[in-house]
Structure 1
Amino acid sequence: MAGLSFDGWLPARIYRDAGQWWVDWCWFGATPLHQPFFRDAVDDALRLPFNQAFRRQTPLSALGQWQAQSPGLAPSAFILHASRCGSTLISQMLARLDDHIVVSEPPSLDTLLRADLPDGERHAAISGLLSAYGQRRRGIEQRLVIKLDAWNIGEWPLLRACFPDTPWLFVYRDPLEIAVSHLRRPGMHMVPGMLGDCVLDDDLPFEGREDFIARRLGRLLEAGGTHCRDGGGLALNYSELPEAMGGRLGRFFGLADEQRRQALAATAQHSKQLSQAFIPDGEDKRREASALLQSRVQHFARAPYEALEQHRKSQLSGFLR
């Protein structure tokens, strides 16, 4: 690493091969991360002739060495979420701000959080990874916001131990609306066997997709609520978006008035399909829900959702005082 510059490079992938952990790097130069997901930004960067001609690969320990040589921004906020609930809308609003680096669901962070690594080595690797993402590649960046994968609610205590003072929020919405979205197009954590062991498992047999999705969703909301109550996270319902960015959400991120206006301008676009306008779809999803899905969600997910709502309302009461 001595004398080797990583300016403009970001970790694209972390993997294990023959017992050794490796980092694949991708050159971004000064290009900001404006895509809805970090993997989309990597795909775009890999189309550059430079990245097609040159590959940079290092041992995992290089993350710590690069951090010591060129410390990046420490995370200013973490976004946790129940999936399909507006977290991408929030990250895309923040990505419009020139002084923000927003890294949305980076696969390398998920890999480290769920890797079989000693605690000290994992802590150092995570710190080094986020320092690499927090490099001031344009020279104007002031804040680093990281959005996790939904299932990382299970690994949140590990990440919290690395960054105990970093503010965080948990975004969620009516569980029936989330469940309908996953029936249409399931995420990894809503497909049996795709994700591997995680906190969403209950190790019980299930009867159909509706049963599986509702049970996993209930456990996700329960974990989110527990962490919010015990760990001081901000509970935010999809129903508050996007207007909350002009109020308590903007205050949470420490945004000035002009930054809040800039962030709100992003709501003219759909957060995941940038060529489309953003339109709230909760009512359509509730109409689409079958009687079976409604009963499964009511049984497994409604109580943890209502507990989250109670906690959120207590936070809102404190915000308004």
Structure 2
Amino acid sequence: MTPDLEGWMPARIHVDGGQPRVDWCHMGGQRFTDPFFDETIERRLRHPFALLFRHQTSMNALVARQAKKPGLPVRGLVFHMSRCGSTLVAQLLAALPRHIVLSEAGPVDTVLRAHQYVPGVTDTQRIEWLRAVVGALGQQRHPEEHAVFLKLDAWHVLELPLLQRAFPGVPWMFLYRDPVEVMASHQNHRGAHMLPGLLNPAHLGLEPGQIEGMPLDEYGARVLAAICDAGLQGYRARTAPARLMDYRQLQPEGLRVLTELFALELTAEDTPRLRDVLERNAKNPVLPFEDDTEEKARRVTSHGRALAEQWGRPIHDALETERLRGDVVP
């Protein structure tokens, strides 16, 4: 018998015996306001009830629940290159209580990569599972909530066509940054996608054998280039309102772009909330915002700079060309 899941959210999806299983966490009234989804889940699990009482169901049970309770509509998708300001975008959207913002949610990533470890899964199944996960995470738990926004992991732009099939017509944006600065950030602390094993080599235009023995910085530069190229090609072939945004736009123009693209209707109460977010470090809101552009340019190694220029610069420049054309709608 499927348990009563009112107030519960899918916190984690794992594979058991070749089939996905859903671990649920009781969220109560906890909103997703932390920079990342997992931080909110970890904070919730400090509560005795959420820690001691758990539910686990099949994916079929999650899909059946979505048919009865589909959740709030998805109003925007945020794709990004990584280390380029997307967390600030998510925090701006989450500052408005009427939004549910799912920032790099683990269950979403698991479903998008299900074809890598669930035998025989089809794109149709992944779309069904994705809608079910987002529908469960996007349940209205506060009267003012009326929309869901997904801030995806950097590598999810490689699945842009599938995400557009799952959420047709939903506006989206792709954020990027000078590839030298992004390379500097990853040289200091590499993201999971910058290490071989997470991504299918075919998504990067590589054969499995090509990765063996490839230096990490070269692999990372090629990953960043593939991510940016997916964003560029998706923008050129867009079938929904879309925007490209460079990191340098965020402070002066980010709020205007978000308002236009996602049709946000701001109130007088929203202005101080959003101004406060812009003044703080998005990943560590207790600290003030500081522009680290010059620091990153100094910190990158000469080899890392050369690789970023070789693999990333041509696509970065192409993204800039498209952005400066100023198109908003297809």
TM-score range, shorter chain: over 0.9
Q: Which residue of 2 aligns with 1:311?
A: 322
Aligned: 1:96 with 2:98? no
The structure 1 residue matched to 2:300, chosen from 281, 289, 306, is: 289
Of the candidates 211, 216, 221, which is equivalent to residue 228 of structure 2? Answer: 221
Write the letter of the residue equivalent to 2:236. R
Secondary structure in 2 matching 1:155: helix
Q: Is the 8 A contact 1:201 1:216 kept in 2?
A: no
Residues 1:190 and 2:194 aligned together: yes
Would you say the 8 A contact 1:170–1:235 is kept in 2? yes
1:272 corresponds, among 283, 299, 308, to: 283
Conserved? CA contact 1:38–1:106, under 8 Å:
yes
| Bigger mean CA offset, 251-260 vs 165-174 | 251-260
The reply on whether 1:255 has 2:264 as its aligned counterpart is yes
Q: What amino acid maps onto 1:54 in structure 2?
A: F
Change (3 A) 1:185 1:201: farther
Partner of 2:245, secondary structure, is strand
Pairing 1:197-236 to 2, within 5 Å after superposition? 197=201, 199-200=203-204, 202-203=206-207, 204-205=210-211, 208-231=215-238, 232=240, 233-236=242-245
TM-score (norm 1): 0.93
May I ask how many residue pairs the two structures share in their alignment?
317
RMSD: 1.9
User: Which range is displaced more, 15-24 or 200-209?
Assistant: 200-209
2:131 maps to 1:120: no
Structure 2 regions of 5+ residues with no counterpart? 116-120
Equivalence for 2:174: 170
Structure 1: distance between partners of 2:290 and 2:10:
34
Return the alpha-carbon distance in structure 2 between the equivalents of residues 292 and 119 of structure 1.
Answer: 39
- Give SS of 1:12's match: strand
Q: Any unmatched runs of 5+ in structure 1?
A: none
Cα distance between partner residues in 2 of 1:198 and 1:256 = 41
- 2:299, 2:133 → 1: CA distance? 41
- 85-94 or 220-229, which deviates more: 220-229
Q: Name the amino acid aligned to 1:244.
A: E
- Between the two proteins, what is the percent identity of the paired residues? 35
Deviation at 1:12, TM superposition (A): 0.6
Structure 2 length-normalised TM: 0.90
Structure 1 letter corresponding to 2:296: K
